[in-house]
Structure 1
Amino acid sequence: MSVFSVGPKVYFGQGELKKLREINCKKAFIVTDPFMVTSGFINKVTDQLEQGNIDYEIFSEIVPDPPIEVIAKGVKVMDKFNPDAVITMGGGSAIDAAKAISYFRTLVKTGLDSSAKIEKPKFIAIPTTSGTGSEVTAFSVITDKKFNMKYPLVEEAMIPDMAILDAELVKSVPKAITADTGIDVLTHAIEAYVSTNATDYTDALAEKAIKLVFKNLKRAYDKGDDMEAREKMHNASCIAGLAFTNASLGINHSMAHILGGRFHIPHGKANALLLPYVIEFNANVKMTSAQEYTRAAIKYAEIAKFLGLTTSNNVREGVKALISAVKALIKNLGIPNKILDLKINEVDFKESLNEISDIALMDGCTPTNPREVTREELNELFKKAFYGR
């Protein structure tokens, strides 16, 4: 039997932070990054809490690719404050960290006393980038700095209870981050659409997210104060999150996780560098006849068709059209088309190739990739992305 989880209650639009006054709690633990505090952005949250007479404490030590050590410190600070609500504001790193902190705090408390009944604090996520969809997913990615590895955690208990999508919070996001996070949304949606766990429910969400990205990402990139485009991309991020938290992802994310952990490439950019090659690999149209097209190839061609990239029913042409459109979008967003352009040391990359391929092979996203993959095939995909061929 298949299962589809609807997820948290989502408030979207502009000015939705006022919902924080109504969360019915006494103490809120706020997890965010230093910029949200120094820029005064966090005041948008604390002002609402003060109007609701809610006590709060801010934990603002979250950094990009949050390491295990920060999660452990957050658990201690949260436990001492003992809140009945957790509010996280920021990009994917802040939301992922808050998930892990809240989850492990509950795990530690119940582990110390098996008879203890710990009431899980209400969890509210407020994204300030339009990319990860973390505000509605069961996924959290934390980093082991010692081994330069990212670990994707998947626990249903980490899904937030409420997500607040306020487009006002993303209108000042820089162009480069708009581009990287936007391609992350696209990758989430495409991978969910072709996942072996895809269903009618996840396909509907993934399709809508893909359409929103192709229509609005370049607009948001070109003109940051285009509030319609910003709101649509914020919605697309959330919708894609609902799709992939149910359908899971594939090797594009498996490979991006280790590229980020090992070479510190921003996650969305890593996805962009890989996406055309992963689509080509999964579709495998060069090696098949018209009678033997893979399910993935057929679904990639469906994407090209509903985007209006082709009017043909030819699967091979549809796959080619999608790859061309993805490459064009990435180029128009100023994202490099090869890892080599990021000044990653070529010798280091070659020497680590087998290791990073093995890690990607073991990643939690790999089992739902539409095509089985070997270490050798991952090596080739990494090399294609590195040299842009």
Structure 2
Amino acid sequence: MKIQEFHVGPRFISGKGATTKISELPIQKAYIICDPFMEQSQMVGKVTEVLRNSGATFKIFSKVVPDPTVQVVSESIAEIRDYKPDTVIALGGGSAMDTAKAVIRVYSETEKTESPYLIAIPTTSGSGSENTAFAVISDPVYNEKIALVDDSMVPNLAILDTAFTMTVPPSVTADAGMDVLTHCIEAYVSNKASDFSDACAEKGIRLTWKYLLEAYKNGDNTLAREKMHNASSLAGIAFNNAGLGICHSLSHAIGAFFHVPHGRINAYLLPYVISYNASLEAHGETDVTRRYAEIAEIIGLAKITPTQSVVALISAIKQLSEKMSIPARIEDLGINRSEFESMITKMAQRVMEDACTPTNPRTVTLGQIEKLYRSLR
């Protein structure tokens, strides 16, 4: 038996209105990282009000963009170097989290200083970035996504305040929720999976399967929003320990060149990746096939042969995506097929270099990745 480690990550505070607990922390100088919408919609005001009432000063950096760029990270580092906060608060979706984590890592390394206390307040239920050592930064000059992995980037505190998720639009709820499901499934079948990561992944799958569609249809359902927020963090704990797989590697490469929402690409790719990893084309059963069959059982599908269970799982995932109007064709993702096919070799090379590829349960070659890309409808 191999020796394994398991990290839970930050301290968690959850529940509607949990942001008020910030007042109990010894914060003197806070630096808030968010996107323009967070500032314009006054969501950031829920945080600054607590800080102001507790006597803390703060500065807001609201230039976060989807697929956060090297340029935005650099600009924030320049500000934080001058401001010297004792606390950094990341408020938003995965982009805000990734920006904050990259900023803290580079700032602390270049300045040879202790990292500021990092608080993550996710406003979507998807990335799980509030409790992971992962961050993905884009370099638009080279059409590249850079995956950073470092334990120093794990937030000190994650606040799961459902109040921030109640107004998330259905399309974002769907994209983010399918990202959660992908995180859980990839962590569960990862070659680094353990009993500990399995427990988090399995619970995340159960919660997502039960509550995602309800959160999509009825955004004001507090229970569904709360459960999806919890599922997102459980997924983060799972993949922070077990790693991910080629669904994310393939998605990172597509996103770098075609700029489609990450969760949406994952939802589109997941059935193809499951089929590949389970070796369905070989008409045989492997340990990986049986792991996917366990997932089928977790979501309540009838227990049949492992191969039949995997086929049923793929069908169920496609049906869930369809119910949330997630595209099932390359063109419907807004991608020109000719342009896509012309980039397959470059994207496949990126996949082979991606940090998520080594923990995929089935070994891949460059040729297999190219073939997988070409099989996409």
Shorter-chain TM band: over 0.9
Name the % identity.
46
Q: Deviations over 1:330-375 (max 9, x none)?
A: 1111001011212312221111111101111110000000001112
- Give the residue type in structure 2 aligned to 1:345: N
Structure 1: stretches of 5+ with no match in the other structure: 111-117
**Match runs of 1:217-366 below 5 Å:** 217-289=212-284, 293-312=285-304, 314-366=305-357
How far residue 23 of structure 1 moved from its aligned partner, in angstroms, is: 1.6
Q: Deviations over 1:202-231 (max 9, x none)?
A: 001000000111100000000100111010
How far residue 288 of structure 1 moved from its aligned partner, in angstroms, is: 4.4
Question: Given the alignment, which residue of 2, 13, 17 partners 2:4?
Answer: 2
Query: Which residue of structure 2 lines up, in the alignment, with residue 373 of structure 1?
Result: 364
Distance 1:55 1:282 in 2: 51
Distance 2:29 2:244 in 1: 36
**Match runs of 1:1-389 below 5 Å:** 1-110=3-112, 118-289=113-284, 293-312=285-304, 314-385=305-376, 387=377
How far residue 286 of structure 1 moved from its aligned partner, in angstroms, is: 3.7
Query: Which residue of structure 2 lines up, in the alignment, with residue 114 of structure 1?
Result: none
- Give the residue type in structure 1 aligned to 2:74: A
Distance 2:374 2:126 in 1: 26
Root mean square deviation of aligned Cα: 0.9
- Give the residue type in structure 1 aligned to 2:49: D
In 1, are the aligned partners of 2:97 and 2:130 still within 8 Å (CA)? Answer: yes
SS of 1:243's equivalent in the other structure is: helix
How far residue 308 of structure 1 moved from its aligned partner, in angstroms, is: 1.3
What is the TM-score normalised by the length of structure 2?
0.98
Misfit runs of 4+, over 6 Å: none
SS of 1:180's equivalent in the other structure is: helix
Change over 3 Å in CA distance of 1:286–1:345 after alignment to 2 = closer
How far residue 61 of structure 1 moved from its aligned partner, in angstroms, is: 0.7
- Give the residue type in structure 2 aligned to 1:146: V
SS of 2:114's equivalent in the other structure is: coil
What is the TM-score normalised by the length of structure 1?
0.95
Q: Deviations over 1:106-143 (max 9, x none)?
A: 01102xxxxxxx22211000000000000000000000
How far residue 32 of structure 1 moved from its aligned partner, in angstroms, is: 0.6
